[in-house]
Chains A and B, each alone.
Chain A
Amino acid sequence: MSGENLTSSEYIKHHLTNLTYGQHPDGSWGIAHGADAAKEMGFWALNIDTIGVSVLLGALFIYFFKKAAQTATAGVPSGLQNFVEMVVEFVDDSVKDSFNGRNPLIAPLSLTIFVWIILMNAMDLVPVDYLPSLGQLVGIPYLKVVPTTDPNMTFAMALGVFFLILFYSVKVKGFGGFFAELAFHPFPKVLMPFNLFLELVSLISKPISLALRLFGNMYAGEMIFILIAMLPLGAQWALSVPWAIFHILIVILQAFIFMTLTIVYLSMAHEESH
C-alpha cells in the first residue's frame, strides 16, 4: 500500500487513474485530480502517463532494433543482433504464414505491434507500487504505468489497423469492389441493406475486438496485481510470483494475438472476395 490513510477502494482507484492533462470546467488548464475531474475535461485531454510511457517504450524498441539493424552483417551475429533477428524471423514467419500477397508494410507493422505491445504489457511486471510511489515523491499525483490498460492506447492501435484495413480494401478492390464486398454478401443482392448491416458490424467489430481484447486482458491482470498488493506483506509474494509468471505468458500471448489478427485482417483486406 502506498499510503496509510487510503482505503482499499481509494487505493485501487488511485492506481487505475491516469495522469490526465486538460481544461478544467472552470476554464483553467491543468492536471485532473481524480477520475471524475478527468471525465469532466471531456475529449480534449491527454493522458500524459500513457503517452509518456508508450512513447518511451516505442523509442526503446526503435533504438535497440535500429542499433541492431545498423550493425547487422551477414557474418556471425552478435548477441543483440541475434536476439533481434530471432524476433524478426518469428514475425516474418507469422506474416508469411497468414498473409498471401506482397506488401512491404505488413511485416514491419507486425513487428512494431508485436514488440511495442510486449514492452507495454511487460510494464505490468514492474511491482504495482514502484513507479506510482516514485512519481508521488517527485510530485506526480497519478501514474498508470501500463499503457495497454488505458483503452486510449489499445483503441489507438486498433484504429490504426482499422484505417489500414479500409485503405487497402479500397486500394486493392476500389470503392466499388469494397462496397460490393460489403453489400452483396452473404445473401443475394435483393437483401442489400441486410447484407450491409451484417458486413458493417463484422467490419467494425474487428478494431473493437482487437482493442478490447488487449485492454481487457491487461486491465484484469493489472487489477489482480493491485489486489495482491493489498494483501499482508508476507502473503503477497505467494500470489504475486505465480501470477507474474503466468502473466509473462499473457504479455506475450496478447501481443502475438494482436499481431496475428492484424495480419489476418489485412490479408482479408487484400483478397478479392471471400
Chain B
Amino acid sequence: MNINATLIGQTIAFFMFVWFCMKYVWPPLTAAMEERKAKIAEGLAAGERGKKEHELAEKRAKEVLVDARTEASDIINLANVRAGEMVEEAKGKALEEAAKVKKGAEAEIEQEVASAREALREQVSVLAIAAAEQIIKSEIDATKHKSLVDNVSSQLGSA
C-alpha cells in the first residue's frame, strides 16, 4: 500500500492503452456504426418511398379501371344505337327494294297483257276476215265490200 514507481509505470501503460484505443479501436468502430446508421436510414426511406409509390400505383390502377369501365359501357351503348340504326336502315332498304320489284313486276304484267291483247286482236281480225271471206266468197266480191270489213276490224281493235 505504498506509492512507488508503479505509479509511473501505470501512467505510461495507461497512456499507451489510450493511444492504442484512439488509433486502432475507436475510428473503425464508429465509422462502421455511422455507416450502418446511414444504411438503415436509407433503407427506411426507401421502404417509405416504396410504400408511397405502391399507394399511388394502386390509386392510378383504380382510376384506370373506372375509366375503362365507363368507356366500355359507352361503347356498348353506342353499339346498341348503331345496331338499331342498321336494322332500321336495312328495313327501309328492303321495303324500297320490295316496292321496286313489285313495280317492275306490275309493269311487266301490264306489258304482257298489252302484247297478249294485241296478238289476240290480230288473230281475231284474221279470224274475222277469214270468216268474212268465207261468207263473202259465197256472196260478195272482196274488193267491193272492203270498207265494210275494215270498219268491223277497227271496231274490234278498239274493243
Residues of A that sit less than 8 Å from B by CB: 16, 18, 20, 22, 35, 38-39, 41-47, 50-51, 54-55, 58, 61-62, 65-66, 68-70, 72-75, 77, 81, 84-85, 88-89, 92, 104-105, 107-109, 111-112, 116, 150-153, 155-157, 159-160
Q: Is B159 an interface residue (CB 8 A)?
A: no
Q: Give the shortest distance, in Å, between B59 (CB) and chain A (any CB).
A: 35
**Chain A contact residues, majority secondary structure:** helix
**B6–A108 contact, CB under 8 A?**
no
**B5–A44 contact, CB under 8 A?**
yes
Q: Which of B6, B25, B32 contacts A153 (CB 8 A)?
A: B6
| Contact sample, A vs B, 16 pairs, CB 8 Å cutoff | A22-B4, A45-B6, A62-B20, A69-B32, A72-B28, A72-B32, A74-B35, A81-B32, A88-B26, A88-B33, A108-B22, A109-B18, A111-B26, A151-B1, A151-B3, A159-B11
**B29–A85 contact, CB under 8 A?**
yes
A69 CA to B28 CA in the complex, in Å? 5
**B13–A51 contact, CB under 8 A?**
yes
**A68–B10 contact, CB under 8 A?**
no
- Chain A CB count within 10 A is highest, among B13, B20, B25, B35, for B25
B5 / chain A contacts, CB cutoff of 8 Å: 22, 43-46
Q: Which of B6, B20, B36 contacts A50 (CB 8 A)?
A: B6
**A108–B18 contact, CB under 8 A?**
yes
A84 CA to B26 CA in the complex, in Å? 10
A34 CA to B10 CA in the complex, in Å? 22
A-B contact count (CB 8 A): 135
**A35–B26 contact, CB under 8 A?**
no
A16 CA to B1 CA in the complex, in Å? 8
A26 CA to B84 CA in the complex, in Å? 134
A39 CA to B9 CA in the complex, in Å? 18
A105 CA to B15 CA in the complex, in Å? 11
A54 CA to B36 CA in the complex, in Å? 34
- Chain B CB count within 10 A is highest, among A39, A58, A104, A152, for A152
Q: Which of A47, A69, A104, A150 contacts B25 (CB 8 A)?
A: A69
B32 / chain A contacts, CB cutoff of 8 Å: 69, 72-74, 81, 85
Q: Give the shortest distance, in Å, between A239 (CB) and chain B (any CB).
A: 25
A137 CA to B108 CA in the complex, in Å? 148
Q: Is B7 an interface residue (CB 8 A)?
A: yes
A69 to B, closest residue via Cβ: B28
**A62–B21 contact, CB under 8 A?**
yes
Q: Give the shortest distance, in Å, between B1 (CB) and chain A (any CB).
A: 7
A111 / chain B contacts, CB cutoff of 8 Å: 21, 25-26
**A50-B10, A92-B30 are known contacts. Are A112 and B21 too (CB-CB below 8 A)?**
yes
